[in-house]
Amino acid sequence: MRIETTPTGWTAVDGERRVGASGRWERPDGKRFAWIETASAEAAAALCAAMAEGRPLYTSADGDDRDALLRLGAAGFVGDRYGHRWRLRVPVAAAWSEEPLRAFAVGPPERYAAGALRRFDDELRADVPGLHGWRWKSEGWEAEHSGPNYDPELHPVAHDADRDRFAGLVRVWDNPARPRLDLVAAARPYRGTGLAAALLGRAFRVLRERGCTEVDAECDASNGAAKSFLYRAGGRITGGRVELVYRPG
């Protein structure tokens, strides 16, 4: 078996037959994630060895996909973390009070300096399991906010004018199949005040007015506080994904 490079990644070839393909990308937290398309554990292992270049590789698989998990395990991947997939009922959070927002200026991301808001997003993600070290680059942030699934009405940001700092934000992507909640968080001084819930309520009221009834979300299985919050928001667990890591050598 040989591995060939392509414009989009790597290909595994056995004789004259293509038996697998792969590619990788780097997230803002520095983790390099790989996609691997093959039914062969041998091909997966060879592709990983070529892609790794001495650094860890990450990938994910559906928690119920036993064949994929066995194949990735045989290729050298081990489980690193587990996340639940959730489905939230829009009317529940849409009914939450806006009272906690009275002390803040709330508006879309475009109201604020992109660099400052980008760093605030990094600050919030530092407390999310699996996202330690997240650092947006300006071009990545701009691409996120110019894509077809971005809607500023679904990304409310709370700013504390008295302290001249951001207090919290929500990020919901208006995906074609179903909107997806990417992040709902408050800065540490504002946690426990109901701010995050009120921001989610504002975004979900926009969705309710558009006739949307459900939103997808993901949450690390170890994050008890986030799980409690999602249950309060009318959420239910619909499945899960395993994040795996391949460490060369």
Domain boundary residue among 75, 98, 126? 75
User: Across residues 215-228, what is the average pLDDT?
Assistant: 95
Name the percent of the chain lying above pLDDT 70. 100
User: Across residues 129-152, what is the average pLDDT?
Assistant: 94
Q: Are residues 152 and 221 in the same domain?
A: yes
Q: How would residue 153 be classed by pLDDT, with cut points 50, 70 and 90?
A: very high
User: Across residues 133-158, what is the average pLDDT?
Assistant: 95
Rounded to two decimals, the pTM is 0.90
Q: What is the CATH number of the domain that holds 18?
A: 3.40.630.30
- pLDDT, one tens digit per residue, over 163-191 is 999 999 999 999 999 999 999 999 999 99
Would you say residue 249 lies in a domain?
no
Q: Are residues 99 and 187 in the same domain?
A: yes
Taking 90 as the threshold, does the pLDDT of residue 1 lie above it?
Answer: no
Full DSSP string of 26-93: E-TTSPEEEEEE-S-HHHHHHHHHHHHTTS-EEEEEETT-HHHHHHHHHTTEEEEEEEEEEEEEHHHH
